[in-house]
């Protein structure tokens, strides 16, 4: 892991991205690293543009905001278009398959994954898309390990949904390894 890795999770309100950011940050601190999670949001509670940011570092984190991200997760086309410019050159874009990604753009490593479809169709629960995405991010970056990520997921999801979320994580791991 680099000293400071900056991750931006973007999509629409209600997709659970802020929770995703919290879980990722919690997994990192469980491993003894430092992490900061922050967010920006509009006035709408559902829909609208939403983003969560996570910074993970072995050292103390001074500036708590993400400027140029090392990794961008885009769950909607709107979010992709809005935030792609803030991805570092050479950074990683993880985009849902539903998004029309500019294939000509060679500035980033692009990974397109059917996150939303897997959640909705295979698991029958659209709301676990965020957890699938975390699985993908873990495999791609290894910024946290599987054990601490799973512990953080189980600590934060509603009671009674533990098995579903564990399955979602595994789906994420598999999606990453089959596309990467």
CB of 118 or CB of 138, closer to another protein: 138
Residue 118: CB minimum distance to another protein, A: 27
Residue 120: CB minimum distance to another protein, A: 29
Footprint of another protein (CB under 8 A): 22, 25-26, 29, 34-43, 61-65, 67
* Number of other CB atoms surrounding residue 58 within 10 Å: 14
CB of 25 or CB of 116, closer to another protein: 25
CB of 26 or CB of 96, closer to another protein: 26
CB of 38 or CB of 161, closer to another protein: 38
Residue 164: CB minimum distance to another protein, A: 23
Residue 144: CB minimum distance to another protein, A: 12
């Amino acid at each position: 892991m680099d000293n400071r890795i900056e991750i931006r999770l973007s999509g629409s309100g209600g997709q659970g991205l802020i929770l995703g950011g919290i879980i990722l940050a919690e997994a990192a601190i469980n491993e003894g690293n430092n992490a900061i999670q922050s967010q920006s949001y509009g006035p709408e509670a559902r829909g609208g543009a939403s983003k969560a940011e996570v910074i993970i570092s072995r050292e103390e984190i001074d500036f708590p905001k993400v400027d140029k991200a090392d990794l961008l997760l885009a769950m909607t086309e709107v979010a992709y278009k809005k935030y792609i410019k803030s991805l570092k050159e050479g950074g990683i874009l993880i985009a849902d398959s539903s998004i029309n990604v500019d294939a000509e753009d060679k500035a980033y490593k692009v990974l397109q994954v059917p996150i939303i479809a897997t959640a909705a169709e295979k698991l029958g629960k659209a709301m676990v898309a965020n957890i699938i995405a975390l699985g993908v991010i873990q495999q791609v970056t290894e910024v946290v390990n599987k054990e601490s990520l799973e512990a953080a997921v189980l600590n934060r999801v509603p009671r009674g949904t533990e098995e579903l979320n564990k399955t979602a994580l595994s789906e994420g791991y598999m999606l990453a390894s089959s596309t990467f």
